[in-house]
Every structure is written in structure tokens, then in C-alpha cells.
Structure 1
Amino acid sequence: MTRASRHAHQEHGFLRSVRLVRDRIPDGSRYPFSIPAVRALEALEELDLHPKVTFLVGENGSGKSTLIEAIAILAGFNAEGGSKGFNFATRRSESELHTALRLIRGARRERNGFFLRAESFFNVATQVDELGVSEAYGGTSLHEQSHGESFLALVKNRFKPQGLYLLDEPEAALSPARQLTLLARLHELVERGGSQLVIATHSPIVLAYPDATIYHLSDDGIAPVPYEDTEHFSLTRDFLLHRDRFFRELFRADDEDS
């Protein structure tokens, strides 16, 4: 495939945007519709998704995992993770958000896809074994590898070109060096394979993927933010450059008590 043709077929992703349908909200004061970032979707006509990589960032409880879960369900994936062929539920815990969202699709249709969520990956690995499809994941049971090795085995073997991949905290099991390996594989999927990714992350390494759209979810709502303006970048940079100052502040209470 030529560079021109790759560019042409990625002008729009498989998913162009997501929209909150106000008439489908049963009770705005009830979770998850009470989350500030979710409420903020009401004011937006659509939340645009980058044709290559979109990041969702924010503190715990900001709604990023809730939003990516809802997008995954609407795109046809199992709520606990896996491919579109997976249909299992260890414990029903998905929110109602997907019932009030609408996905705006592009002209292209994905040929492959996967929803990876760190918190339920063990259940997905069990399902792979029970279905007898370990060959598609590298030939070795995901349970017979370390957590990080199984994550990378999934991404290297199961993730194929022309795919829609939704990842919730993929860095959870990965060392910094392995996060760089992950970035290289994601870049290959995007630039050579025409894939699209939506990723919820806390990792400043993963978040550094170039030319991606980053949405910050907070008590103030949801808004795009440059990489250098994210707390993930600025806090990590400042800590590495001035860790002694951070330690003085963090340990001050203990020193005063002693």
C-alpha cells in the first residue's frame, strides 16, 4: 500500500464521533449520568474521535473507563473485554451509559477488533482457554505467561490490520520499556495497518504517541488538551527534575509528628 493510499483511507476512522442522546437519559442525577464529563457531553453536538488515536485521561472516577466501556459495547464488544465473538459475563458491572450514547460511524468498516480492559483481562484469558483459541494469541495460554507477557502476546498476535481497538489502561501490566514496545506495535497497526484506537490511560509514556487527540475528563467536564499540558506529563517531569522538593512536601507531616 502506498503512502498516498494509506493517507486516503484514514481520513476518517471507523468511528467518527460519539454523541449523548438527551432523550435517552433516564435520570441525570444518577450514576453514570451524574459524572461531570458525561454531563458535559450534553453540551457538545458530538465528541470527535481521531481517525488514528484518541486518548481519554483523567483522575480515577473521572469517567474515562466508563466512557470507553460504553463505546466498546456500542461497537459490538463484550463489556468485560475480548473480541466481538466473546459473550461472557463473570459479573455484570457495566454502566447504563451505552444506552444513551450513539456512535457516528465512518464509511469504512473494521475487519478486526478487540476491547482490552486491564481489570478483567484475567477473565478474557480464561475465556480464550475455554474456547480453545490460544493459537490466535501466540500459541501459549495467556495464563501461562506473566501479566505483561500476556498483554504483549495479545497485542502482537491478536491485533491485526484494519482493526478497531479500544484499550482501557493497557499500561497496567507493562514496565516502562514494555510500554515503548506497545507504542511501536500500536504505531505499526495505525500507520501500516489502517487501524483506529481509543485508549484510556494514566501513562505519560503511552500518552506521548504523536499527533493523537487527547481528551481530559475532570470535574470541569471534557475538553481537548495538548500533551505537554496534561498533568501526566507535567507532574512526571517535575517529579523527575525536582524529586527532593516533592519528598520534602510529601514527608513534611511525618517529620512534624516526630
Structure 2
Amino acid sequence: MFLKKISVLKSEIPAKEKYPFSIPAIRNLNSLDLTSNITFFVGENGSGKSTLLEAIADKCGFHAAGGSRHNQYDVHGAHSDLGDYLRLSWMPKVTNGFFLRAESFYHFATYLDKLEEDPYTRSNYRHYGGKSLLEQSHGESFLSLFLNRFSGQAIYLLDEPEAALSPQRQLTFLRILHDLNKTQQCQFLIATHSPILLGYPHAKIWSFDHGSIKEIDYEQTDHYQITKYFLNNRENMLKELLKD
């Protein structure tokens, strides 16, 4: 592990009623201790998990729309309103890593294509499967990133990596995650809605629901409980849900 603790500089917050501190889980956060190489952020849409992950990426020096410290490209709204109020505690500090943001991955892929067109910045796609990410399916491009770009002592911040992955490819990603954790000494912080990814053994899961950030077990997540109930009671649940 490299990143050990995330702290909020409460004394420097100008107005707690304004975004992002209008989000209850963010407003009530003082600090978060990281005790596992694999940490998941879960919660309903708007609960603040992506907001915090984006702010961590900002403090790491990663592009807020996705990328590493070395990627520079323009995307409207690509900034963090929370990053200035965070302190990250490292031991040791690493600068290698990557921020994957599923909703803006197209912009990152387009940026790589522009680099390839310029002989002075040509990347040869060597870190991304040998060809343009835009020439691969969405899921293939994600896996190309995970398999070719991720390695070494680094921290990887992933915002909804399952967005482009089928259930089978999510299982493939779990194997990649396992290999990188065990052999490459990588640390992962992952915001997700996937009950498959959340099942990774011995990971820490932090829930952003109910106005605070609390550690919970896999079986306590809505993702597990709702999915399990639906699979076991599909007909009755749909009958109740879709009744006139």
C-alpha cells in the first residue's frame, strides 16, 4: 500500500452548504484510513463516491477527466471542486498511476489518437494493446488499458470500470486485478455498482449512503442484496414492480 489516509481540511472550507460539501457524505467526512490494496467506494448515484475519487485523482496530479500525470488535454468541466480541501498521507509516495473515468474515456482515447498523429508525441499505442482505443470495442479498450498500461508500483483510481464490461469481462477484470495486486504491488481505489467486482476477496468496501462514509461487508451492500433477491424472486419482484 502507498496511500494510507485521506483527510479533509475542514478549517479551510469556505461554505459547507455549497457543492461538493452539500453532499452529506462529503460534508461529514473528516478522514478515511485505507487498510487494503483493494478499496471499493459504493453508494447511490449522487452519494459522493465519484466526487471523492476525482478529488483524490486531482491531488495525485492525474487528469480529472482520466489519465496520468503526463496526460494533458482539454475537457469541459474537467476539474475537482474538492481536491483543494484534501490531504493525502503516503508511505511511500508514488507518482505512477492512472485515473479511469468511464464517462469521459472517449476523450482520453481521442487524445491518444492525436498524439499518434504527431511524430514528436507519437505513442505507438504500446501501452494500449497496439492500436487505437477507438478502433476497439468499449469493453476491449478497457481491458487493453488494464492489461497493457497498468503495472509496477502504482496507484490506480477507477470510476465505474464495469460500465463497458460484460459480466464475463468483469470476471476477467477480477483476475487482472488479482494479478496486479499480488505481483506488481499496485493499489486500487474503485467506485463501482457491480456486485461482481465487489466480491473480490478481502477488499475493503466503504459505503457513501445515509449521510456518512462507513465500512461495510459485501453481503451488506445493496448491490449484493438487491441482485440476490431479484435472482431468487424474479417473477414476484417484477409482478410487484410493474403492476398497474
TM-score by length of 2: 0.94
Matched, 1:159 2:150: yes
Amino acid at match of 1:129: D
Shift of 1:147: 0.3
| Kept after mapping to 1: 8 A contact 2:58/2:80 | no
Q: Which stretches in structure 2 are left out of the alignment for 5+ residues?
A: 117-122
**Structure 1 gaps, min length 5:** 1-12, 254-258
Contact 1:15 1:51 in 2 (8 A): no
Question: Is 2:194 the partner of 1:206?
Answer: no
Correspondent of 2:12 among 24, 30, 37 = 24
The SS at the match of 1:28 is coil
After superposition, give the CA deviation of every residue in 1:132-169 in whole Å (9 maximum; x if it has no partner): 22122111100001000000001000011212100000
Q: Does 1:59 align with 2:73?
A: no
Shift of 1:28: 0.1
Matched to 1:20, the amino acid is V
Distance 2:56 2:202 in 1: 22
2:58 maps to 1:73 = yes
User: Take 2:8 and 2:77, find their aligned partners in 1: how far apart are those partners?
Assistant: 23
| Residue 76 of structure 2: aligned partner | 91
The residue correspondences of 1:4-19 to structure 2 (distance < 5 A) are 13-19=1-7
Equivalent position amino acid for 1:195 in 2:
C
Contact 1:169 1:199 in 2 (8 A): yes
Higher helix share: 1
Q: 1:10 corresponds to which residue?
A: none
Runs of 4+ in structure 1 off by over 6 angstroms are none
Counterpart for residue 82 of structure 1:
67
Q: Which moved more, 1:214-223 or 1:29-38?
A: 214-223
- Which amino acid in 2 is paired with 1:232? H
Q: Percent identity?
A: 51
Give the secondary structure class of the aligned counterpart of 1:135. coil
What's the TM-score once normalised by structure 1's chain length? 0.89
Q: CA RMSD in A?
A: 1.2
1:231 matches 2:222: yes
- 3-state SS, counterpart of residue 126 of structure 2: helix
Amino acid at match of 1:193: Q
Please name the residue that 1:219 is paired with. 210
